Structure 1
Amino acid sequence: MKDLKGKVALITGGTKGIGYGVAEALLRQGLKVVITSRDENAANEAADSLASKTNSKGAVIGVQADVRRLDSQKEAVNQALSTFGQLDIVIANAGLGHFGSIEELTVEQWNDVIDTNLSGVFNSIKASVDALKESKGYYITISSLAGTNFFAGGSAYNASKFGVTGFTQAVMLDLRQYGVKVSTIMPGSVSTHFNGNEPSDKGAWKIQIEDMGELVVDLLKMNPRTLPSKIEIRPTTPPSK
């Protein structure tokens, strides 16, 4: 995808954090973007904000969709196709976390993390695979360094991100025969609102959302013959412990 202008991307969980940063970067490259959220108002407000920041009125829309439901993801894909006529890129980004010892973690928390972080990625890809085979498009999933490094209190989150990493790699092998590229990005600490964090100058050492956007653009622009299928990134200089 050396020429990104006019391509269409769907980003799950695009109203803030990584998804918002990626959406902004893509709009600045001349793409058309669909961002989704479970909250319709949040999706529309974020789309308006992005359009204003990037002078991209008409190039970005917000869609209410729940990644936990395949039918909801199919509807989001259909809205992208009906609005912009094609779908070239899907960024499976939506995610959340519940943390605590296995003694404390509830069944509801476990299901919430797995259904959103792992099944949500499955639903996002399953719902759009025909469209991306048609466009010879690109899937990028947002995993985490927690998808290879386990930690106490992270059983649900670790399981979801280990799953996303493995799932994405297998899908990459499934779809490359159709000219569809598939990558997963595994970031360390990113300055977002995740898990109740409030982005501030104190988090300047962390990966910033614009860095994630820049990385996605770089992946999309890479020569089609080359596929970085799994990318780990981390802050260069974290605080001393």
Structure 2
Amino acid sequence: MKNQVALITGGSKGIGYGIAEALLMQGVHVAVTSRSEEAAKNAAQSLNALGLSGKAIGVMADVRDFKSQQNAVIQVLKSFGAINIVVANAGLGHFASIEDLSINQWNETIDTNLTGVFYSIKATVDALKASKGYFITISSLAGTNFFAKGSAYNASKFGLTGFTQSVMLDLRQYGVKVSTIMPGSVSTYFNGNTPKEEDVWKIQIEDIGELVVDLIKMNPRTLPSKIEVRPTMPPRK
């Protein structure tokens, strides 16, 4: 994996940041994106301060804007010369009953969690075909398990899971591997949460990072195309 190049959307914090750190430990060079240029640059600075084998750069990009993602890809190729790994991680959630869910909330959820991933692969597919690389999406157990007040989020993640599996079939003929990771509860800043000691039972961001590394290191003849992960022992209700 040393000197490979990864592009991680929404990599300035949470799961994306954990994946970036895990890849840097393997000698992979990493570009993390954020809608905030400051957040992207600060994340890269923090990752580089760890003194790991790979180098990190921060790139401003909004996954809902195809041109923005194309520009991010150009910057990464200019900096590192190739893209071997793309992790489509950027996502958000709005949770409300269908009576209360607003049009804007619906559109923002679908545009980020589903259309944003479509833009991610469209912007990087040529680079991934050239490198025979790996495209990984971060879906959710909500992409197979529906729940009340989750219509927008469920729709986006059900769609993302199916989308990724179809892309897997499209691209494997070119030597491009495609997988989706579907986590349960993860200790992140998602939906306004702040990680705390009581979250110790949840999946940690470094666990998802380790899983990404394991996928990339797997013998190329084998492709785990859809991976569900969940906390081993959640609190009793």
TM range, smaller chain: over 0.9
Asked if the contact 1:24–1:54 (Cα under 8 Å) also holds between the matched residues in 2, the reply is no
Tell me if 1:10 matches 2:11: no
- Percent of pairs with identical residues: 73
1:186 to 165, 182, 188: 182
Residues 219 and 55 (structure 1), Cα distance of their counterparts in 2 relative to 1, 3 Å cut? closer
Cα drift, residue 209 of structure 1: 0.3
**Equivalent residue letter for 2:33:** T
Mapping of residues 113-132 of structure 1, within 5 Å: 113-132=109-128
**Equivalent residue letter for 1:220:** I
Segments of structure 1 that go 5 or more residues without pairing to the other structure are none
Counterpart residue number, 1:31: 28
Segments of structure 2 that go 5 or more residues without pairing to the other structure are none
Mapping of residues 141-152 of structure 1, within 5 Å: 141-152=137-148
Tell me if 1:135 matches 2:131: yes
In structure 2, what is the Cα distance between the partners aligned to 1:78 and 1:225? Answer: 30
Mapping of residues 142-221 of structure 1, within 5 Å: 142-221=138-217
**Equivalent residue letter for 2:201:** W
Asked if the contact 1:25–1:214 (Cα under 8 Å) also holds between the matched residues in 2, the reply is yes
1:181-218 residue CA offsets vs partner (Å, 9 max, x unmatched): 00000000000010111101100000000000000000
**Equivalent residue letter for 2:46:** S
The TM-score, its normalising length taken from structure 2, stands at: 0.99
2:50 to 48, 53, 58: 53
In structure 2, what is the Cα distance between the partners aligned to 1:54 and 1:200? Answer: 26
In structure 1, what is the Cα distance between the partners aligned to 2:149 and 2:28? Answer: 39
Tell me if 1:43 matches 2:45: no
In structure 1, what is the Cα distance between the partners aligned to 2:17 and 2:102? Answer: 30
1:91 to 82, 87, 99: 87
Q: What number of residue pairs does the alignment pair up?
A: 237
